[in-house]
């Protein structure tokens, strides 16, 4: 695809993606694109594969998944009694 094939929509989407990947506050992206609603901006600035990869890289070396089995929360009598009391 060359520049001659670029549409205004494609250019806006590309700019929004570049700004998103640069960790620019979505409010500023919204203002730059001239949107009144942040939900519209989110359509243009979806998370890219590179951003997902960076997020996963941040987890490397951390213990996200516990090594030891965790106690089943449903076996906590005090917690279950309290939760049950909320319905009454």
Query: Which single residue is written with the structure tokens 């319905």?
Result: 87
Summarised one tens digit per residue, pLDDT across range 3-41 is 788 898 888 888 888 898 888 898 999 999 898 999 888
Structural domain spans, the chain: 1-47
Give me the pLDDT at residue 78, please: 92
CB 45 within 8 A of CB 19: yes
Residues 6+ apart with CB under 8 A from 80: 74
């Amino acid at each position: 695809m060359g520049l001659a094939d670029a549409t205004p929509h494609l250019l806006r989407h590309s700019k929004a993606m570049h700004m998103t990947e640069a960790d620019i506050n979505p409010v500023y992206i919204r203002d730059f694109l001239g949107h009144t609603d942040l939900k519209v901006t989110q359509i243009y600035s979806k998370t890219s594969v590179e951003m997902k990869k960076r997020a996963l890289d941040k987890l490397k070396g951390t213990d996200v998944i516990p090594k030891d089995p965790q106690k089943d929360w449903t076996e906590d009598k005090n917690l279950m009694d309290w939760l049950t009391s909320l319905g009454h």
